[in-house]
Structure 1
Amino acid sequence: MSRFLRDKYPATLPAAVRNFVRSRATGLVAVAAFVGVLSGCADVAIETVVQFLHIVLFDLPRHQHLSAASKLTPWRGVLVPVMGGCVLAILTLVARPLAGRLADAIEANALYGGRLSLRGSLFVTAQTILSSGFGGSVGLEAGYTQICAALASRIGITLAARRADMRLLVACGAAGAIGGAFNAPLAGAFYGFEVVLGTYTVGALAPVATSSLVACLITHQFMDPGYLIPPNSMAAMAPGDIVHIGLISLMAALLGIVLMRGVGASEALFSSFKVDLRLRPVIGGLIIGLMSLITPQVLGAGHGALSLDLAAVVTPAGLAILFALKSIASSVSLGSGFRGGLFYASLLLGALVGRFYAEVIPTFASGLPLDPGLAALAGMAAFATGVIGAPITMTALALETTGNFPVTLAALIAATIASLIVRDLFGYSFATWRFHLRGEAIRGPHDVGWMRDLTVRKLMRTDIRTAASTLTIEQARAAFPLGSLKTFALVDAADSYVGLVILDDLYTVDVHPEDPVTKVMRHSHTVLLPSMTVREALDIFESSESDALVVVDRATSRHIIGSLSESHALRAYGRELERQSPDNVTSFQPKGERLRG
């Protein structure tokens, strides 16, 4: 077991405080409010440091976003990202061995019951700050979420919180991180539910919403996220616009899938280079730096570029080029080892898709005009939903960051359509796609860690009867009278498993008494291993259409150590599932991830 899982931080708070939090809903809300304070402060600190790096390294005026710079000194545009790659390489060399187990909030909630390594999260956050500060085409939202969730997790450990409460506190940290970053408490709360917790429960509403709201109150005093699209700059949605919004959503969803696959292809390409892993960010930084000579909009998360591109007059060809350059820059950044996410980049790319559509559609349907601002909003909601996998979050974000309630319906329609398309054609969000590329069977934040602990070894019976595979039908009937048991296993001379005999088959199948007993055996090639999880066992039961299977020590030796029935596995799974989530109202579970039982 890794050090990450063995870490036991002492519960340093008095027992009365811990009991108050564990037994009272108001206690958990109070802790969530404190998490919101920490999240808001962390957002402000990270944003301040990154903006300071942009001002110093790229010689920017104060309060100007990097991606909105009209021009950069060429040597700075090329050299600074390369320097960033070098700094990341040094940081990885020096600090990575000290960082412990690296897991994000989704992985922690899915596998580890909300336990996050604070040292590992500080390392990831430092990487994110340096990646964005030196011009990498990555967003800060991953860094915000990482450190805020880790702080919430540490508080939960200090309080000796239960597993469910630990996962909830991690969601509170993530909600505060996103809500504070965009000054959007509703979006932050729904992000916590959709992306980090995976379920909506009545008991979780107050803590998650409180954390997000408090974080917004903190960041509002120091940061001015502004509006993604200025209020009153968009026309109200007309009934005829629904067709346009549907087409924009289709384009955005498909391009979002291309972007996510592009990041995976970029990682594979950099992995194929015969260079040290730590030097890949240097190569990536050089590529990004050279791209900045074309336009500075490829640098950073894209806050300035979004405002610039929504207001400027840009030709359809120009919009397409900007989309391609930003997509390539983000893929190269993440593929080469820069740390960050695609949250804000997906908003920018979606806005470009929407504006492109609005500029092109008059050429084909001059009688069906579409407001460019409304098109950009629909594109943002659709593209970000496809990449992040949070349609309600993006709808709330559209409402809170535009200040325009009537057009929120367009965002809801776009997010819904994009979510449906991406789920059906791809099946992953960007986060779960990265897990898939790493070989992790995680399709969301739903708590499957307990499922990994519920193994075949814990569920199996060890009193299985065996017999030699050389017996005849008559000898087997003599050894196992009808009604004495349900099944028995056959073994060879080396005591290895040969097959399973169901007693009813032994007496009802039309065979000669002198025939070998192997004639009525089943599942000779289907066995369970003690390390398998209950989920893996249930999948094998379903594919083999068996009611019971033998458990062997190893796939090679096949020595029998027990047996397991499907009914017992289903009962155990059902009991544990009910214990883990007794009050779920809604589950934001990806397609194909619901287990039988």
Structure 2
Amino acid sequence: MYIRFVNYLDKINQYRKSKISNRNFLIILAVIVGVLAGLAAAVLKSLTHHIEEFLQSDWHWKYKYYLYFIFPMIGIFLTVLYIKYFIRKTKFETGLTPLLYAISKKSSKVEAHNIYSQIITAAVTVGFGGSTGLEAPIVTSGSAIGSNLGRLLGLSYREITMLVACGAAAGIAGAFNSPVAGIVFAIEILLPEFTIPAFIPLLLSAATAAVVARLFYTQQLFFLVTEGWKVNALFYYVILACFIGLFSIYFTKANYAVKGLFYKIKHPYTKVIVGGLMLGILVFLFPTLYGEGYITIKGLLKGDYQAVINNSIFADYNTIPALVVLFTVVTIFMKSIATLVTLGAGGNGGTFAPSLIMGGLIGFIFAYVVNLSGLAQLNVSNFIVAGMAAALGSIMHAPLTGIFLIAEITGGYILMVPLMITTAISYAINRSSQKHSIYTKALADKGELLSHDDKDTTVLNQMKLKYLIEKTYPQLHMNDLISVKMTEIMQSHKNICAVTDELGDFKGIIYIEELFNEMINHPDKENLQASYLVQPAPNAITENDDLKMVLEKMEQDNVWILPVLTAQNQYLGFVSKTAIFNKYRALLMRQNDYMG
């Protein structure tokens, strides 16, 4: 059955190649990806909000509010159970880092289960109160749709990567009804090199997803009524940008610290209990932390400046401005902790929505305090919107995404200048301290990140050493007689051979030129053993080494060939500069032909 299916697909591919150009075929696939990703976004948002609605409104029980202590733990526990029992063959990963790794090192292969598993686990985590966002899961789900559709149709790496980016753009467009932000996000975060031909598939995919998601889920995220911005408020936008830039640095560092703490907890259910209890207490004290948290921002944009404190145990004191200010400031920092605890404990989600919430709250509290002080009268809603854009742009290192996303979802295009100023400054402050974003730092530390600036590294990261190993070099054992192996050595036409022991452990190399000299001049050449001629290799590499590092070793030792070993010192073969450069040229040619 499988062989028949493959043959049928092959016939379809052959037919479409003769009738449709690569460019047009990718456009068709981009629309299909947009439809499917739009449906996925609608399903995820609807499922999450139905769970929230059931727990908060539809389910009536005298003591149900005591369960708010453990609702987040239940959501994380269900997520961990699902991953354990339904995703067995592959590793389940959250966030955008695995997606970037797939593009960089796995030929844009995103496992098929991500199409649905990201939706299920994110809906359960966030629906039960996990303090994360739905955007990273829907981006991964959309990218998985693009990746698997491309692989199914036998497309090249670059074409599959294009569909992965289309899926990501469609996911953002469907989640926020913001097609422009979806396109910008895909270009800024995922595509290693943007080319004009790539714009059309991204445009169609994002627009299609926005339309499809809108058909099934019509709820508007934010409503913004603004009179525009004033020139004399620009100074305060700059100050706000500085605060958010500094906060984004804190959040980035807190991300690594909390991840490190949970990494030390080895048992998954211990993580669930520890993280769930911490999250339950935080949600009880600060209700804004429940789920995505957009409801609070909606209230603030409508002028309800007590929205942060109203549903908390401190609601009776909501008429005291100083307490509102203090409570909001603490909520901002607790939101960052709650988000990172949710993810560290095993929940699924992303930092997209939390970035918006934290930035919006910082913008609110800044304008609110300035107004209370009498220094100026600022439009609080405008500063909330600017804060959201600045936080998203600086934390994700995606300033354009922050600007266009907020402009689209709030209708705040009239605020484009303040959005640009706050986002650019906050991003510059974060970038001065953090070269990489929270998504890319782990990959950069391992040398696995596609580089926009270094094309050589980008291409080398797409190549895998194990496919370049040459196994045709002669291999001798330590006790082998050279005279017996001479015919085999001469027929190989190689200038070097490997020497191992009987168990295959690598012992060194023999240069063929030196071997010939000894066979001519040695008095007992008939009994000459490999052990007599073996010498240590100038360097050795393992099959998992990075190719850039391999080339650096070759330059350092001034050699054109190096032996490749396993981690257990077992000999595998040799890799040469020639093989690496040939593959490098082939990849460049394939990229030049991309979408031709």
Q: TM-score range by the shorter chain?
A: 0.7 to 0.9
Query: Is the 2:165–2:191 contact (alpha carbons within 8 Å) kept by the matching residues of 1?
Result: yes
Q: Distance in 1 between matches of 2:6 and 2:375?
A: 68
1:68-123, Cα deviation, whole Å (9 max, x unpaired) = xxxx9531311322222332232233113145675843332222222221124433
User: How far apart are residue 312 of structure 1 and its match?
Assistant: 2.4
User: How far apart are residue 208 of structure 1 and its match?
Assistant: 0.8
User: How far apart are residue 140 of structure 1 and its match?
Assistant: 0.9
Q: 1:186/1:8 Cα in 2 relative to 1: closer, same or farther (>3 Å)?
A: farther
Q: Distance in 1 between matches of 2:101 and 2:508?
A: 39
Q: Secondary structure at the match of 1:59?
A: helix
Match of 1:334 in 2: 343
Larger CA deviation: 418-427 vs 379-388? 418-427
Match of 1:265 in 2: 257
User: How far apart are residue 340 of structure 1 and its match?
Assistant: 0.5
Q: Secondary structure at the match of 2:194?
A: strand
1:500-551, Cα deviation, whole Å (9 max, x unpaired) = xxxxxxxxxxxxxxxxxxxxxxx99766556534311244467x4x654652
Match of 1:317 in 2: 326
Match of 1:428 in 2: 436
Query: Is the 2:30–2:202 contact (alpha carbons within 8 Å) kept by the matching residues of 1?
Result: yes
Query: Is the 1:110–1:444 contact (alpha carbons within 8 Å) kept by the matching residues of 2?
Result: no
| 2:55 is the counterpart of 1:48 | no
Aligned amino acid, residue 373 of structure 1? S
Query: Is the 1:112–1:449 contact (alpha carbons within 8 Å) kept by the matching residues of 2?
Result: no
User: How far apart are residue 424 of structure 1 and its match?
Assistant: 3.2
Match of 1:441 in 2: 448
Q: Distance in 2 between matches of 1:79 and 1:556?
A: 47
Q: 1:553/1:99 Cα in 2 relative to 1: closer, same or farther (>3 Å)?
A: closer
1:365-407, Cα deviation, whole Å (9 max, x unpaired) = x656543223222221121112223222222112212223231
**What are the residue-to-residue correspondences of 1:520-535 with 2, within 5 Å?**
532-535=545-548
Aligned amino acid, residue 150 of structure 1? A
Query: Is the 1:347–1:381 contact (alpha carbons within 8 Å) kept by the matching residues of 2?
Result: yes
Residue among 71, 88, 93 paired with 1:80? 71
**What are the residue-to-residue correspondences of 1:381-460 with 2, within 5 Å?**
381-433=389-441, 435=443, 441-442=448-449, 451=461, 453-455=463-465, 458=468
User: How far apart are residue 444 of structure 1 and its match?
Assistant: 6.8
| 2:162 is the counterpart of 1:168 | yes
Query: Is the 2:561–2:576 contact (alpha carbons within 8 Å) kept by the matching residues of 1?
Result: yes
Aligned amino acid, residue 549 of structure 2? E
1:108-154, Cα deviation, whole Å (9 max, x unpaired) = 22222222211244333321111111110111112211222212222
Q: 1:463/1:33 Cα in 2 relative to 1: closer, same or farther (>3 Å)?
A: closer
Match of 2:244 in 1: 252
Q: Secondary structure at the match of 2:87?
A: helix
Query: Is the 2:564–2:575 contact (alpha carbons within 8 Å) kept by the matching residues of 1?
Result: no
Q: Distance in 1 between matches of 2:325 and 2:439?
A: 31
Q: Secondary structure at the match of 1:220?
A: helix
Over the matched positions of the two proteins, sequence identity in percent amounts to 22
| 2:197 is the counterpart of 1:203 | yes
Query: Is the 1:137–1:300 contact (alpha carbons within 8 Å) kept by the matching residues of 2?
Result: yes
Q: CA RMSD in A?
A: 4.3
Q: Secondary structure at the match of 2:405?
A: helix
Q: 1:180/1:9 Cα in 2 relative to 1: closer, same or farther (>3 Å)?
A: farther
Q: 1:80/1:12 Cα in 2 relative to 1: closer, same or farther (>3 Å)?
A: farther
Q: Distance in 1 between matches of 2:402 and 2:75?
A: 31
Query: Is the 2:469–2:564 contact (alpha carbons within 8 Å) kept by the matching residues of 1?
Result: no
| 2:125 is the counterpart of 1:118 | no
Q: Distance in 1 between matches of 2:573 and 2:279?
A: 57
**What are the residue-to-residue correspondences of 1:219-238 with 2, within 5 Å?**
219-226=213-220, 228=222, 230-232=224-226, 235-238=228-231
Q: Distance in 1 between matches of 2:355 and 2:589?
A: 37
| 2:289 is the counterpart of 1:298 | yes
Match of 2:36 in 1: 38
Q: 1:353/1:23 Cα in 2 relative to 1: closer, same or farther (>3 Å)?
A: same
Structure 2 unaligned spans of 5+: 307-323, 475-494, 500-505, 512-535
Query: Is the 2:183–2:206 contact (alpha carbons within 8 Å) kept by the matching residues of 1?
Result: yes
Match of 2:279 in 1: 288
User: How far apart are residue 38 of structure 1 and its match?
Assistant: 0.9
Query: Is the 2:192–2:450 contact (alpha carbons within 8 Å) kept by the matching residues of 1?
Result: no
Query: Is the 1:266–1:331 contact (alpha carbons within 8 Å) kept by the matching residues of 2?
Result: yes
Match of 2:365 in 1: 356
Q: Secondary structure at the match of 1:431?
A: coil
Aligned amino acid, residue 588 of structure 2? E
Residue among 128, 131, 140 paired with 2:134? 140
Q: 1:332/1:559 Cα in 2 relative to 1: closer, same or farther (>3 Å)?
A: closer
Aligned length: 523
Match of 2:516 in 1: none
Q: Secondary structure at the match of 1:407?
A: helix
Aligned amino acid, residue 38 of structure 2? G
Match of 1:19 in 2: 17
| 2:562 is the counterpart of 1:551 | yes
Match of 1:468 in 2: none
Q: Secondary structure at the match of 1:118?
A: coil
- The alignment's TM-score, normalised by the length of structure 2, stands at 0.75
Q: Distance in 1 between matches of 2:586 and 2:377?
A: 55
Q: Distance in 2 between matches of 1:189 and 1:582?
A: 22
User: How far apart are residue 440 of structure 1 and its match?
Assistant: 7.1
Query: Is the 1:21–1:27 contact (alpha carbons within 8 Å) kept by the matching residues of 2?
Result: no
Query: Is the 1:51–1:133 contact (alpha carbons within 8 Å) kept by the matching residues of 2?
Result: yes
Q: Distance in 2 between matches of 1:325 and 1:559?
A: 53
Residue among 142, 149, 153 paired with 1:155? 149
Query: Is the 2:38–2:174 contact (alpha carbons within 8 Å) kept by the matching residues of 1?
Result: yes
Match of 1:96 in 2: 87
Q: 1:443/1:136 Cα in 2 relative to 1: closer, same or farther (>3 Å)?
A: farther
Residue among 99, 121, 125 paired with 1:131? 125
| 2:382 is the counterpart of 1:374 | yes
Query: Is the 1:398–1:408 contact (alpha carbons within 8 Å) kept by the matching residues of 2?
Result: no
Q: Distance in 2 between matches of 1:450 and 1:21?
A: 34
User: How far apart are residue 211 of structure 1 and its match?
Assistant: 0.7
Q: 1:581/1:420 Cα in 2 relative to 1: closer, same or farther (>3 Å)?
A: farther
Aligned amino acid, residue 250 of structure 2? V
Match of 1:578 in 2: 588
Q: 1:333/1:457 Cα in 2 relative to 1: closer, same or farther (>3 Å)?
A: closer
- The alignment's TM-score, normalised by the length of structure 1, stands at 0.75
Structure 1 unaligned spans of 5+: 1-6, 62-71, 465-486, 500-522, 586-597
Q: 1:346/1:443 Cα in 2 relative to 1: closer, same or farther (>3 Å)?
A: farther
Q: Distance in 2 between matches of 1:435 and 1:421?
A: 22
